[in-house]
Every structure is written in C-alpha cells, then in structure tokens.
Amino acid sequence: MKTQIPHRKSYVGLLTVALLAIGATAQSADRPALKEVYKNYFEVGMAINRSAATGTAGGANRNQEQVNSDVALVKEQFNHIVPENDMKWQLIHPREGADGYNFGPADAFVNFGLSNKMSIAGHTLVWHSQTPNWVFQGTNPPPATANASAPTPATANEAGTNTPAGGRRGRGFGGGFTGPRASREELLQRMRDHIHTVVGRYKGKIKSWDVVNEAIADGGGTNILRSSLWSEIIGPDFIAKAFQYAHEADPNAILRYNDYGLENPLKRQKLITLIKSLQAQKVPVHVIGSQAHVNVSTTFETMDQALTEMASLGLPIHITELDVNGAAGGLRGTGADVAANISATQGGLVDNVNQRLADAYAGLFRAFLKHRDSLKVVTFWGVNDAVSWRANGKPLLFDGNNQPKPAFDAVITEAKKAAKAR
C-alpha cells in the first residue's frame, strides 16, 4: 500500500509549530530566573491575581491562553507570592458572622503557593480601605464632624464597602459609611474574630502577614496616624491589638507592618516613631513592609537612604509591592492611592521609558543588594504590565505578552555583578 504523503503545506505548518514550540521552550529555559539569581540574597515574589491563582480567565481581562502564560511565568521566575486582592476583608469576609466568609479564592491562592513550593504572604488583615461597612456599624451616633465632607464612593467598588475613594481623611475613608458606629469593644471583638479565623485557617501555611496596612498619615505634619474608622472608634492602640491577635492566632507567623511612600523622609520619620513606640510596648511586630510603589525618577541614593534608616529599627525589611511607574503623571510622587491612580498614570509614558525604567530598577536592586542583610523578600506588585493596577504606567519587568523588558535584564545584571564581587 502506498504511504500517504502529507501535502507540502502541512509539513511547513508542522515544522513551524515545532520550531515555535522549541523556540518558546528554549527562550524560557535559557532565560535566567529572578528567584535563582537572587537566591543567595532574598526571595523574589509577586502579587498574584485570582485568574493566576485559579488558572482560569476572568476578572483581569486575560483570556485563557494569556492566563496560562502568566501562570507559567510566575512559576518560572518567582519563589514567593502574595494575593493582590483576595484576602482583603471585603473579599474574604464580606458578611457578618461565622458563615460570612468567602474562603474559596483565598484557599486557591494558598494551594497554588503550596503546590509550587513558594513561600506565602497574606495581605491584609486591618486596613482603612476595602473593609465592609458592617464591620464598623453599631448604635453609637457618629461624631458631628465625622465624614461630613466625604465624597461619593468610587463607582468601581461594591456597594456597602468602605471604598478607596479618597477624601479629607485620606484615601479609603470617604465612602458609604456615615451611620451609627460600633463601640470600641464591639470593633475589637470583630477584629479579633476576623484575625483569629483568617490567620488560624492558614496557620503553618502562610509564613508572613500584613497585619496592619497603611495606617500612617501621608507626608509631614503632626499626625502620625491617618484618621480612619479604626483609629476613631478604637483609638491608636488598634495597631497594637491587631498584632497581638495575629500573634495569638499563629505564634510562628512573621507579622509585618506595611505602608507606602516610605521613600519620603517625612513619612519615614513617622514610621520610625510608630515602630519604636510599638517596640517599647513589646508589640509583636516582626518586619517592616515597605511597599515601594515608586517612579522612574527614584534613585539608588533614595532607596539606600530609606533602607538605611528603616534598618536602624533592628527589624528585617520586606519590599512588599514593588513597581516603578513610567507615566509622566507619576513623577510627582510615590503614593499608592487607588483613587489617585488615574492622575498618576496620565500624561503618557516618559520619553525613553524602557531605558529610564531599566536605570531605575538597576539602582533599586543595587540598593536592595547593599542592604541584603536586612532585606529578606522583594515582591513585585503583579506579574506583568497588563495585569498591573498601574497598567498605564507600564511599571513591571515583563510586558503584557510576558516578554522581558530591558528592565528585566538590568535586574539580572545587578545580581550577576553582586555574585562576581563575592
């Protein structure tokens, strides 16, 4: 019987597919991995969204093929993960009571980390933003001035949530909730129940927790803490209580205080005052989490100075949410305000953005390497530009097709230089 010879076009097609497959494999196999080149210095992590954690297309405007590619890149490059959103109170505990939890997405995230042998951080237990109104509700009339000039909640957020809408008390305060409030004791009880339930569920699996997030007031001025429903109802010791409850729930967990804008000397001074006060009270705060949502003008010197001063507290440091905004509108600051994100990413990208980004990342990683004794984890806030909360600022090492940008090479080069110098 005569063998059927496939049409020449089919050969070409098959060959092309085979070459593409080899090319794709060879590219990722040849490419160095961040987790490998930095393994002697610190873990390299990233914030994972629900699509990547569950391996299914959905909320982040990624089709299935893109999600598969995102997941492959996460596994290839990183050895540490944090959930971008799914452990925020609004998402994990939307309704009151023991049956008011939604653990599905958070469980998927933790299982992803465990099955890929990554260390896992939890984000976040107590935050002024993304906390449902029921948490603060009670029978005590609010102070006459409370929330008087609060703006309308941001439309992108669920109703009934203390949304990140900005406002006179800083971002996240202005929002739906103006009604009668819980007492200090009621709110402490809710905080304790929440922390014990969430931290307890993942005990031994989640290694570090962002216990309190963004409690410090921006910039200079005399107020160390931002005004929030937490600080107004409980008082400034809500921070100490949150750490105490988290420590009770998992005595082995590494407990972080996490904030942004610590490259600003005035805000950093407030951090130092806060942490010294917590240390004096023997509060179990174990790590300084510095988010580092910076911009392309941020230099080695700026980060070096920030790390030097933070390290003087004697605690390890984690860089928790690193990205480098390449938008012209982002040059004014290093905030992390969702409500201000539109202005921070407007004006188009700066000229020569890929080179500026590579230079900034090189300087930052030089500073991280210099402080390797204090620095234990560096976490990027997202896997690539397409899924970044600052997508318009193209702030990450990989583009929306998961191709490495010059900034990736710059970061790898810094590790290689450090290895040679050893």
Catalytic annotation, residues: 214, 321
Gap between the Cα atoms of 348 and 362, Å rounded? 23
Residue 125's closest CA among 25, 195, 227? 195
Among left, alpha and beta (phi > 0; psi -120 to 50; other), residue 138 is beta
Return the C-alpha torsion angle 21, 24, 25, 30, nearest 10: 150
Residue 274's closest CA among 259, 253, 261? 259
Give the torsion sign (CA, 125, 126, 130, 134).
Answer: positive
Q: How far is the CB of 57 from ligand G3I (least distance, A)?
A: 13
Determine if 389 is a binding residue for ligand G3I (CB under 6 A). yes
Find the binder of ligand G3I among 6, 23, 59, 235 (CB under 6 A). Answer: 59
Determine if 291 is a binding residue for ligand G3I (CB under 6 A). yes
Judged by CB under 6 A, which stretch of 36-44, 84-92, 108-116, 216-224 contacts ligand G3I?
Answer: 84-92
Residue 119's closest CA among 127, 128, 110? 110
Nearest CB to ligand G3I, comparing residues 41 and 320 = 320
HSE of 204, CA atoms in CB hemisphere, 13 A: 1
Judged by CB under 6 A, which stretch of 82-90, 98-106, 274-282, 364-372 contacts ligand G3I?
Answer: 82-90
Determine if 157 is a binding residue for ligand G3I (CB under 6 A). yes
Determine if 374 is a binding residue for ligand G3I (CB under 6 A). no
Determine if 85 is a binding residue for ligand G3I (CB under 6 A). yes
Residue 258's closest CA among 280, 247, 242? 242
Q: How far is the CB of 88 from ligand G3I (least distance, A)?
A: 6
- Give the other-Cβ count within 10 Å of 255's Cβ: 23
Determine if 321 is a binding residue for ligand G3I (CB under 6 A). yes
Judged by CB under 6 A, which stretch of 83-91, 99-107, 222-230, 268-276 contacts ligand G3I?
Answer: 83-91
The site map against ligand G3I for 218-257 (x = CB under 6 A) is ----------------------------------------
Gap between the Cα atoms of 284 and 274, Å rounded? 13
Contact 167, 174 (CB under 8 A): yes
Nearest CB to ligand G3I, comparing residues 129 and 142 = 129
Judged by CB under 6 A, which stretch of 4-12, 80-88, 95-103, 277-285 contacts ligand G3I?
Answer: 80-88
Contact 340, 171 (CB under 8 A): yes
Residue 108's closest CA among 50, 57, 153? 50
Separation of first and last alpha carbons in the chain: 68
Find the binder of ligand G3I among 51, 66, 77, 130 (CB under 6 A). Answer: 130
Gap between the Cα atoms of 182 and 180, Å rounded? 7
Contact 110, 50 (CB under 8 A): no
Nearest CB to ligand G3I, comparing residues 313 and 340 = 340
Gap between the Cα atoms of 157 and 139, Å rounded? 25
Determine if 84 is a binding residue for ligand G3I (CB under 6 A). yes
Judged by CB under 6 A, which stretch of 133-141, 156-164, 217-225, 229-237 contacts ligand G3I?
Answer: 156-164
Nearest CB to ligand G3I, comparing residues 321 and 359 = 321
**Of residues 174-213, which lie at the interface with ligand G3I (CB under 6 A)?**
213
Determine if 133 is a binding residue for ligand G3I (CB under 6 A). no
Contact 87, 122 (CB under 8 A): yes
Nearest CB to ligand G3I, comparing residues 41 and 238 = 238
Nearest CB to ligand G3I, comparing residues 88 and 226 = 88
Q: For binding to ligand G3I (CB under 6 A), which residues are involved? A: 59, 84-85, 88, 130, 156-157, 164, 213, 260, 291, 321, 336, 338, 389
